[in-house]
Amino acid sequence: MSSFNRPLLASSALIPAPTLCFEEVSFSQEDKLLLGPCSFTLQGTGPTLVMGPNGAGKSLLLRLAHGLLAPTQGEVTWSSDLRPRQAMVFQQPVLLRRSAVANLTHALAVNNVPRRTRVKLACDALERFGLSACTNTPARVLSGGEQQRLALARAWVLSPQVLFLDEPTSALDPAAIKAVEAAVREFHQRGTRIVMTTHDLHQARRLAGDVLFLSGGKVREHTPAAAFFNGPVSREAQAYIAGELVE
């Protein structure tokens, strides 16, 4: 909430992205273990791509990391004293029933950005994501690709130190996918820690700095991207890359 009391840093690339640490984290619902226990640390520059077959627990892991869900056991911790500023982009963007620009100013207002600077920041972000023409268009009538870009722009105005993306391109056409990937790179260049799930191997190859591979609710492998794609260690990851059906 109060994260915006700290100044927005244009040069935040100089500051190392906060480190995320999972310690024996598990999550169960109605006595059914859905994830974990898993332990890992996300450091280095990333971007971290979370991969694995459907039902492996990718989205769950993201929600635990972002704090949308509380772990049943274990702890999610950050290297910084304060919880870092973070944002999340969902598979289906959740946009308010207002204009594109109002979606951004709302997010800024919620984060206590002074009223007089909100519209300027929002318009800058819309321009950066190629949405200037839709400034006053109702967010809900934008195309799928535009909506996802608007969700990214909303994350952008918040200058997050960490950005989570949950299958952000799975419902988009190739041109829109390209725009989203470009946006992810921009966030990355600004020094934002990226944690993103995808089931698209090619996309992972294009974006990943390191890969966290999940299957059956367990972390099977956490390795730099090159190592993962060239020679996965775990049997599950080998099968996944080979295109086999993995449970």
Partner 1 sequence: MENNNAFYVALSLLLDFDASLVQIVALSLQVSILAVLIAAVLGFPLGAAVALWRFPGRGGVIVLLNALMGLPPVVAGLMVYLLLSRAGPLGDWGLLFTPGAMVIAQVVLVLPILAALSRQKVEELLGEYREQFVSLGMSRPRMMPTLLWDARFALLTILLAGFGRASAEVGAVMMVGGNIDGVTRVMTTAIVLETGKGNLPLALGLGIVLLMLVMLINAGVYLVGELTRRRTG
Nearer Cβ to partner 1, position 110 or 227? Answer: 110
The least distance separating partner 1 from the CB of residue 137, rounded to whole angstroms, comes to 8
User: Residue 23, by phi and psi: left (phi above 0), alpha (psi -120 to 50) or beta?
Assistant: beta
Nearer Cβ to partner 1, position 60 or 241? Answer: 60
Tell me which H or E stretch contains 36: strand 32-42
Angle between helices 144-157 and 115-128 (to 10 degrees): 130
The least distance separating partner 1 from the CB of residue 60, rounded to whole angstroms, comes to 13
Q: Which residues of 132-153 are buried (b: 16+ CB within 10 A; e: fewer)?
A: eebbeeebeebeebbbbbbbbb
Nearer Cβ to partner 1, position 147 or 215? Answer: 147
What span, in angstroms and rounded, lies between the C-alpha atoms of 57 and 67?
15
**Chain positions contacting partner 1, by CB under 8 A:** 1, 3, 63, 66-68, 86-88, 90, 94, 96-99, 106-107, 110-111, 137-141, 158
- Length reported for the chain: 247
The least distance separating partner 1 from the CB of residue 152, rounded to whole angstroms, comes to 13
Nearer Cβ to partner 1, position 125 or 158? Answer: 158
Q: What pairing do the DSSP bridges indicate for beta strands 162-166 and 86-89?
A: parallel
The least distance separating partner 1 from the CB of residue 109, rounded to whole angstroms, comes to 9
The least distance separating partner 1 from the CB of residue 191, rounded to whole angstroms, comes to 20
The least distance separating partner 1 from the CB of residue 131, rounded to whole angstroms, comes to 15
Nearer Cβ to partner 1, position 66 or 193? Answer: 66
Nearer Cβ to partner 1, position 137 or 234? Answer: 137
Q: What pairing do the DSSP bridges indicate for beta strands 73-78 and 86-89?
A: unpaired
Omega within 30 of 0 (cis) for the link into 47? yes
Rg (CA), the chain: 18
